[in-house]
Amino acid sequence: MKKNLNKKHTINKVFSYVSKYKPLIFLSVLFAAVSVALTLYIPILIGNSIDLIIDKNNVDFDSILKILINVGVMVGITSALQWLMNTINNFVTFRVVRDIRNEAFRKLQELPLSYIDSHQHGELVSRIIADADQFADGLLMGFTQFFTGIVTIFGTLAFMLSINVKITLLVVILTPISLFVAKFIAKSTYDYFKLQSEIRGEQTAFVDEMIGNQKVVQAFSYENESLSRFDEINEKLTKASIKAVFFSSLTNPVTRFINSLIYAAVGLTGAISVINGVITIGGLTCFLSYANQYTKPFNEISGVITELQNALACAARVFELIEEPPQTPDEANAVVLSDVKGNVSLENVCFSYTPEKNLIQNFNLNVKHGQRVAIVGPTGCGKTTMINLLMRFYDVNSGKICVESCDIKNISRNSLRSNYGMVLQDTWLKNGTIRENIIIGKPDATDDEVITAAKSTYAHSFIKNLPEGYDTVVSDSNSGLSQGQKQLLCITRVMLSIPPMLILDEATSSIDTRTELIIQKSFAKMMKGRTSFIVAHRLSTIREADVILVMKDGNVIEQGNHKELLNKNGFYADLYNSQFSI
């Protein structure tokens, strides 16, 4: 029952997108109706021309010629209408898929970071790209064949009734058998196509993971294991695809067989009617043509139905993404920060990624304007989690975080984050020029401001040696830059905007020691008078911090400056001295 409701919901969602293009769909249906009417009128003309061939020496060539000219004109008009109909169908289909993709990508920007972190990125890409493409194929087939098929069925039915009612009733009674067979087969195809899409997403995610980490794969000789895993997923996909295609491919030959039997029954009945003088030979020819055209749409529609199972299964996966609950929206009267000094406080903050595993508990901190706060501790103690909470990438489970005495839940996210400058251990460059990457945080920056910021981070020297200088196009995956150079650009990005608060999460991890000493001087200038949160594993980089928070198991176990903590000879002293142990 749940699957049927899900399928019904998917169909309703599809119609909600398609309904935006009602005028074009009406035109498509109109062109389909006219082209089908003309197509169905042609057999009548052909039948009339056959009846004009009375005997070997008694043929009305003049009348036949006129009929053939009319047939030619109708064929030309029908071709033009079908071209227009197909153009409209293509336009509507790809606009609908464009709208769905836009909404899916827009939803990615609104989803909480917890959702992105808990789903494979390749699987999400597969939904927006591959599944949307599969849906487009099915929708286009539906537009192209479904409308025409329905109109053809009703049109041929009307023409056949005008020729002979009894034979028409025979066709009408027998033909639906093929639809019942198609419906029976279609029940199995939806589940298999859904499974096929899910496994395809898993495969895309695995390939994306292996490509992104190919150095690690090769460094640890993991190639054979990765091939085995890929073969395993590929085998699952093969089995699901074979089952889906097997059931969907049964529809057409089975319905064609049934329709051929119907055609034979009509031919036999019609021949008897000709012998009895009920209809003419031309009338029988016309009727057989209609019988064939009447059953043909049932074949096409049954094929469309099975293809639509695949399309709906793919659409369901895209709609699942679109309908994921977004991050908690900003309040209607959310505060927009202004004149921020950099006073930050955390009061009884508790947070965990999963309910069964506690991480940060009853955390309290009061940071004054201009203080440099370093956060240190062993891996997994909650250092980076603190940064996620400060930036409101995640919301606290209880307690509150305040900026300028205002709970950040009452502050708009854009306002909060624009007052932080953030340099992470993981660098990211978008596909664009060096200049475009630097001005992300300050789009209206002048060239002089960009160059000044680059000089202050010592990035200007390597940028000017690039082929196009600041206009050199780079990307995150294929930039020709070293990891250290990428990190310098990320630091320059923050240096350009100089917000009142800074977050440096292992910001110099990919830079050599000599360059790091130079960057530390730049950081010292940048941090002067600004509240700064510094996460570092190399404790030598945070000796000048005003306050060092030593975290363990989500709690601050020691607090003070470098000298005070060393004199305590506690956990921090052990961490610091372990750097120099042999």
Do 363 and 312 reside in the same domain of the chain? no
Task: Name residue, tokens 């609908």.
Answer: 96
Q: Which of residues 290, 322, 354 is at a domain's end?
A: 322
Residue 206 contacts residue 233 (beta carbons within 8 Å): yes
Classify residue 63: in a domain, yes or no: no
Q: How many domains does the chain have?
A: 2
Classify residue 190: in a domain, yes or no: yes
pLDDT in tens, the chain (582 residues): 344 447 778 888 888 888 888 888 888 888 888 887 888 777 777 777 777 775 556 667 777 788 888 888 888 998 898 889 888 888 888 888 888 888 888 888 888 887 887 777 778 888 888 888 888 877 777 776 777 777 777 777 777 777 777 777 877 777 767 667 766 766 667 777 778 878 888 888 888 778 777 767 777 677 788 888 888 888 888 888 888 878 777 776 777 777 777 778 777 877 887 787 777 777 777 777 777 777 777 666 666 776 777 788 888 888 888 888 888 888 888 888 888 888 899 898 888 887 777 778 888 888 888 888 888 877 777 778 888 888 888 888 899 999 988 999 999 888 888 888 888 777 778 888 889 888 888 888 888 988 988 888 888 888 888 888 888 888 766 667 877 788 888 888 888 887 888 888 876 666 677 767 766 777 777 777 888 888 876 666 677 788 888 887 767 788 888 888 888 888 888 877 776 654
Nearest CA to 499 among 529, 458, 465?
Answer: 529
Task: Give the three-class secondary structure for 58.
Answer: strand
The one-character DSSP state at 352 is -
Q: What is the CATH number of the domain that holds 212?
A: 1.20.1560.10
Classify residue 379: in a domain, yes or no: yes
Do 442 and 561 reside in the same domain of the chain? yes
Do 317 and 408 reside in the same domain of the chain? no
Calpha distance 208→509 (Å, rounded): 25
Q: pTM above the 0.85 mark?
A: no
Do 314 and 279 reside in the same domain of the chain? yes
Ranges of H-type helices in 324-468: 383-390, 413-418, 434-438, 447-456, 460-463
Do 309 and 412 reside in the same domain of the chain? no
- The residue length of the chain stands at 582
For 69, the enclosing helix (H) or strand (E) is helix 61-110
Classify residue 113: in a domain, yes or no: yes
Do 297 and 377 reside in the same domain of the chain? no
Classify residue 283: in a domain, yes or no: yes
Classify residue 377: in a domain, yes or no: yes
Do 503 and 370 reside in the same domain of the chain? yes
Q: What is the CATH number of the domain that holds 469?
A: 3.40.50.300
Do 549 and 432 reside in the same domain of the chain? yes
pLDDT on residue 5: 44
Do 238 and 350 reside in the same domain of the chain? no
Residue 510 contacts residue 486 (beta carbons within 8 Å): yes
Do 314 and 352 reside in the same domain of the chain? no
Token pair listed for 291: 């019988």
Residue 291, domain extent: 101-322
Q: Which of residues 288, 322, 356 is at a domain's end?
A: 322
Classify residue 49: in a domain, yes or no: no
Do 267 and 394 reside in the same domain of the chain? no
Do 249 and 358 reside in the same domain of the chain? no
Classify residue 73: in a domain, yes or no: no
